[in-house]
Amino acid sequence: MGAVETTALTGLEPRSFWAHFEALTRIPRPSRQEEPVIEHVRAWAAEHGFELHQDAGRNLVLRVPATSGRESAPTVSLQGHLDMVCERDPSSPNDPAEGRIVLVRDGDWLKADGTTLGADDGVAIAAMMALAEDESLPHGPLELLMTVAEEVGLEGANAFDGSLVEGRILVNLDSEEDGKLTVGCAGSTDTWIRIEAPREAPGAGAATLAVTVSGGLGGHSGMNIEYGRSNAVKVLGRALREAHATVPFRLVSLDGGKSRNAIPRDATAVVSVGADREAELRAAIETAAATIRDAFSKTDAGVDVTVDSAETAAEPWTEAATTTLLDAVALVPTGPLALSPDFDDLVETSTSLGEAITESDRLTLHSLSRSSNDAALPEVIGALDAAARLAGGELEVKYNYGGWRPNLQSPALATLRASYERLFGEEPIVTAVHAGLETAVIGDKVPGLDMISFGPQIEAPHSPDERVSIPTVERFWRLLVAFVDELSKPVKEA
């Protein structure tokens, strides 16, 4: 290990941590292209004589022996991801994907010049390496779990070989809020309602209109689901269905949303209407739109529905099919469904209609449902299945991974909480997130793991504004060192 060279890191403690962190900034590690950083870790493990395993998903598991006197302590797994999001300002000469990150010190913050910093999750890898090689820091047997491709849908964790894990306690080091201990997250299941419905030539002289919803805030379909924001596909379905009650028209297509992970901000339907009813339909949609704007006036005031003339070569669905398809969109639930019994203001179960896709005669409605309580999800999937069946369609279900259900009686949590209070003289915030973390995926493969997650303060991850708070890195380090020490102390006789 070389000395710290960048002046941005001069004088920062702990020195070995920052030296490892700096080394990582010089190694390309985009998701799915982690070979250079894997080689870096492999060489380091060989130098220190640590046993290293790599699974078929390319994830690494390293075994670090206990320090003297702690050999009989339980194995503790430390976990973080090797890859980083490689974003840059277009004008920047630097590029993380090529191992060019230039560190910049800005008061108490460390950032990169024009690029992502890779503190997400370089802090975890640097901390594991600094801890493992320092023989003066007491710990029991450690297992270092370094996953790949976290930033592309937890791909590495999904391919992780759980049989390599010997530890019963897993410490994830990929949290981004100082002062918080995370003890739970949501699992997720994707569903697709597919409805095949007949089409029929439009009536003579029919007009074609495009009805568009836009202007909503969107956001993360888990973390932001509780804010009452509009879902463009649902808004579009509602405006059309309300108008359809008084003015007959036929649906040609309905499309919206870009990702299962985001609340849709845009959606468009093409409809066919008798030329003599066109003005009436425009008025009916505007009436519906006014009520919708009112409904979202406090939570998503920008959402709007507009109608434009359009052209299409496609035949519309039949009148009966149009009714069925609009009913199906109305039936698909979206939004928070239950609150956490453990934490205030945290959603336990939610579902989000993420995409509507028209392909030939078929309409597909793709949802992502989440819960930290696995036993709650079947009811949500049941509702989606019922909507599909009532519409004469079919439901495809893809289970991703189970939730990480908070266990406030966790022994690891009690130990970590005590270490935190002793070190910092205050209570940590114990919380959970309504999103997926690698812990949920790994926990699903290794039942009975006692898991916890913490990290330093990292802001604007995944963007060139990413920065890490230097004093919180020191707090993070001290907490990690104290925690592995505490977990490995010989049990005192009563």
Q: How many CB atoms lie within 10 A of CB 455?
A: 27
Nearer to Zn ion, 85 or 233 (CB): 85
Please report, for residues 70, 414, 479, 488, the alpha-carbon distance to residue 483 in angstroms, rounded to integers and kept in the order given: 14, 11, 6, 9
CA-to-CA distance for 215 and 253, rounded, in angstroms? 21
Q: Is the Cβ–Cβ distance between 363 and 357 less than 8 Å?
A: yes
Q: Is the Cβ–Cβ distance between 438 and 153 less than 8 Å?
A: no
CB of 121 to Zn ion, least distance (A): 4
Catalytic choice (22, 120, 143, 150):
150
CB of 286 to Zn ion, least distance (A): 45
Residue 247 backbone phi and psi in degrees, to 5? -125, 120
Q: Return the beta strands (E) in 180-303 as ranges.
A: 180-185, 187-196, 207-214, 250-256, 267-273
Please report, for residues 64, 171, 473, the alpha-carbon distance to residue 75 in angstroms, rounded to integers and kept in the order given: 10, 11, 24
Nearer to Zn ion, 81 or 250 (CB): 81
133 carries an active-site annotation:
no
55 carries an active-site annotation:
no
CB of 462 to Zn ion, least distance (A): 9
Angle ∠(74,75,79) on CA atoms, nearest 5: 140
Nearer to Zn ion, 155 or 174 (CB): 174
Neighbour-count burial of 217, counting CB atoms closer than 10 A to its CB (0-12 exposed, 13-18 middle, 19+ buried): middle
Q: How many CB atoms lie within 10 A of CB 7?
A: 9
Look up tokens 């979202």; give the residue.
296
Nearer to Zn ion, 120 or 355 (CB): 120
Beta strand 76-81 with 142-147 is parallel
Q: Is the Cβ–Cβ distance between 133 and 48 less than 8 Å?
A: yes
Nearer to Zn ion, 120 or 466 (CB): 120
CB of 85 to Zn ion, least distance (A): 8
CB of 304 to Zn ion, least distance (A): 36
Q: Where does this chain bind Zn ion (CB under 5 A)?
A: 120-121, 174
458-459 sheet: strands from edge to edge: 103-106, 109-112, 467-469, 458-459
Identify the sign of the CA torsion 371, 372, 373, 375: positive
CB of 453 to Zn ion, least distance (A): 10
CB of 16 to Zn ion, least distance (A): 22
Nearer to Zn ion, 120 or 143 (CB): 120
Active site residues: 83, 150
